[in-house]
């Protein structure tokens, strides 16, 4: 009886452990499950990061497009007969509508300036240094390299109340507020009264018959860790100066 009990006890002890094969199978199953869980968690974290990046970028882009649209909707244009085509020795038109391209670093970006009633006076809190009242101002949009990061570009907005005698693009870095950061492309396209498109514009130039554009298309891209986001809108001008040939007819 005792021998049988002892034999049974030893057999139970041997059967209570795991074989090497069972351990290897369990390890493989655990590795597969861990990989699946890690992949799902990593995808979720990446998606949350993309959503946060997207929210920030879309808010910033919407603010930039809204500001540009508001400025263009309040454009100021000298009409005939107040406006006269300039002679070669005449002073520059203070209300010129101008768009061209400029190289910043190794990249080419559009820039634009025009007169608008959307001047945003800023109070300094110093009664001896009060900001000018709202009125006609020269608004400019251009790209500069970020002060803190090389090969990173920002969109700035210049706002100079009339009378202004400073080149809107000839400013010290950081003078004008930033509207968008991490910009990889900025392009303005101008439309004439017949729907033709131009990459540059100068309302004091005979090439556009001294007219101002009837619409401006705005396109820019913002880069994040998740990729590039393109943004686009077209602003139809509430007022414009017709080509001189139409007026002369």
Q: CA separation (Å) from 117 to 41, 70, 141, 190, 228?
A: 52, 10, 15, 20, 33
- pTM score, whole prediction: 0.74
Q: Give pLDDT tens digits for 179-205.
A: 999 999 999 999 999 999 999 999 999
Contact 162, 138 (CB under 8 A): yes
Q: Which backbone phi and psi does 183 adopt, to 5 degrees?
A: -85, 130
18 within some domain: no
Evaluate whether residue 4 is within a structural domain. Answer: no
**Residue 27 domain flag:** no
217 located within any domain: yes
120 vs 132 pLDDT, higher one: 120
Query: pLDDT per residue over 148-190, tens digit each?
Result: 777 889 999 999 888 766 666 666 656 899 999 999 999 999 9
On whether residue 87 sits in a domain, the answer given is yes
86, 163 contact by CB (below 8 A): no
CA dihedral 85→90→95→96, nearest 10 degrees, is 70
Instruction: Note whether residue 166 is domain-resident.
Output: yes
Would you say residue 61 lies in a domain? yes
Domain housing 154: 52-248
Find the radius of gyration of the CA atoms of the chain: 33
- Residue 3: pLDDT band (50, 70, 90) is very low
Residues 47-88 have pLDDT tens digits of 555 555 567 899 999 999 999 999 999 999 999 988 988 887
**Structure confidence at residue 134 as a pLDDT band (50, 70, 90):** low
- pLDDT, residue 7, reads 47
> Beta strand pairing status for 98-104 and 107-116?
antiparallel
pLDDT class for 25, splitting at 50, 70, 90? confident
Number of domains in the chain: 1
Asked if 200 and 100 count as a contact pair (C-beta separation under 8 A), the reply is yes
Instruction: Give the distance, in angstroms, between the CA of residue 42 and the centroid of all CA atoms in the same chain.
Output: 29
- Show the tokens assigned to 217: 């298309």
Whether 6 shows a pLDDT value over 50: the answer reads no
């Amino acid at each position: 009886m005792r021998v049988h009990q002892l034999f049974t006890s030893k057999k139970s002890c041997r059967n209570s452990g795991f074989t090497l094969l069972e351990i290897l199978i369990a390890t493989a199953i655990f590795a597969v499950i861990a990989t699946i869980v890690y992949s799902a968690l990593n995808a979720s974290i990446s998606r949350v990061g993309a959503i946060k990046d997207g929210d920030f970028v879309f808010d910033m882009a919407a603010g930039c497009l809204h500001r540009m649209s508001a400025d263009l909707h309040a454009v100021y244009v000298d009409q005939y007969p107040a406006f006269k085509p300039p002679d070669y020795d005449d002073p520059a038109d203070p209300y010129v509508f101008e768009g061209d391209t400029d190289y910043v670093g190794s990249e080419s970006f559009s820039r634009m300036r025009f007169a608008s009633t959307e001047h945003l006076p800023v109070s300094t809190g110093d009664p001896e240094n009060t900001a000018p009242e709202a009125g006609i101002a020269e608004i400019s949009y251009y790209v500069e390299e970020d002060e803190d990061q090389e090969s990173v570009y920002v969109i700035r907005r210049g706002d100079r109340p009339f009378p202004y005698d400073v080149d809107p693009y000839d400013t010290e870095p950081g003078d004008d507020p930033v509207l968008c950061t991490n910009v990889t492309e900025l392009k303005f396209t101008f439309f004439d009264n017949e729907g033709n498109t131009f990459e540059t514009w100068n309302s004091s130039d005979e090439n556009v018959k001294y007219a101002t554009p009837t619409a401006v298309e705005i396109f820019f891209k913002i880069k994040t860790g998740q990729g590039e986001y393109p943004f686009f809108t077209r602003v139809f001008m509430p007022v414009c100066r017709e080509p001189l040939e139409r007026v002369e007819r």
